[in-house]
Structure 1
């Protein structure tokens, strides 16, 4: 069965965005092999606001060919948007209820994994519903002091097993964990 993978940047003090939604602190090193990650997924889960901002994002014409190719790869994936709004969109399927059962159904489709893109509210729902199989947390060498925390309002402890660590030239450290209650396929 496919795995739901939270691949996310976080500050050293645990925030996924600044107090006004800032993500300008995120570093993208060429040694992070984001293309490699994209090749392991065929589906992306978005919250509505994240989908509206990034689900169909087109980079400026003057960006590198590599960045254009990256966005083409992102946009080639199956997209599901979790939202209270149930709207029609020919580039994504909207899910407005019964999240746990819908995610279970989607995990049975296709062969590659699922990227839980976010936003913060959707990530919180997935954490609280125990729907994340793998946590790929990239810790950036910056502290914001405040913002939107990754682990907010946990109802119970979240126990994880470290399965891999990556260190990048920028000082970003990526920790890859598997949820303890999940079994490796």
Structure 2
């Protein structure tokens, strides 16, 4: 069965964005091998706002070949957008109801794992429904003091088991946890 992976940058104080939506603090080192992660998935889950911003993003002409290649890899994946808006889109399937049922059906398909891209509202929904299998948090060496927190308004505790860690030359620490499944979620 496919696993849903939340692969996300977070500040040391637990924010995924600054107070004005800033993500300029995110570091992409070449030793992070993000391409290997992209190669390990075949599906991306988006919220509508994130999809509208990034789901069909095309880098500028003067962008590095490595970044262009990364975006090509991302755009080659199956895309699902969770939204209250019904919409036709040639590049994604919109899911407007029965999230848990739809996710279970997608997870049961053959193929590779699923990246829960976001945004924050969708991540919060998946957390509270217990749908995330792997939490892959890249903790960046910065403290913002305010912003959009990763974990807020949780319905219950989430037990996690550390299954991997890496330290990158920038000081980013990647922590990979497996969610302990409970019967209540």
The TM-score, its normalising length taken from structure 2, stands at 0.97
Kindly state the Cα deviation for residue 93 of structure 1 after the two structures are TM-superposed.
0.2
Q: Aligned ranges for residues 1-185 of structure 1 at < 5 Å?
A: 1-181=1-181
Deviation digits for residues 38-84 of structure 1, max 9, x if unmatched?
11100000000000000000001001111111100000000000000
Q: Distance in 2 between matches of 1:158 and 1:28?
A: 28
Please identify runs of 4+ aligned residues in structure 1 that moved more than 3 A: none
Q: Distance in 2 between matches of 1:64 and 1:24?
A: 18
How far apart in 2 are the matches of 1:108 and 1:137? 25
Tell me how far 1:159 sits from its aligned partner: 0.6
Q: CA deviation at 1:131?
A: 0.2
CA distances 1:112-142 after superposition (whole Å, capped 9, x unpaired): 0000000000000000000000000000000
Corresponding pairs, count? 182
Cα distance, 1:108 vs structure 2:
1.1
Give the superposition deviation at 1:174. Answer: 0.4
In 2, Cα distance between the equivalents of 1:73 and 1:121? 25
- 2:97 partner SS: coil
In 2, the alpha carbon distance for the partners of 1:110 and 1:50 equals 26
Could you tell me which runs of 5 or more consecutive residues in structure 1 were left unpaired when the two chains were aligned.
none
The two structures have a TM-score, normalised by structure 1, of 0.97
How many Å apart are 1:109 and its aligned residue? Answer: 1.4
Q: Separation in 2 of the partners of 1:47 and 1:130?
A: 17
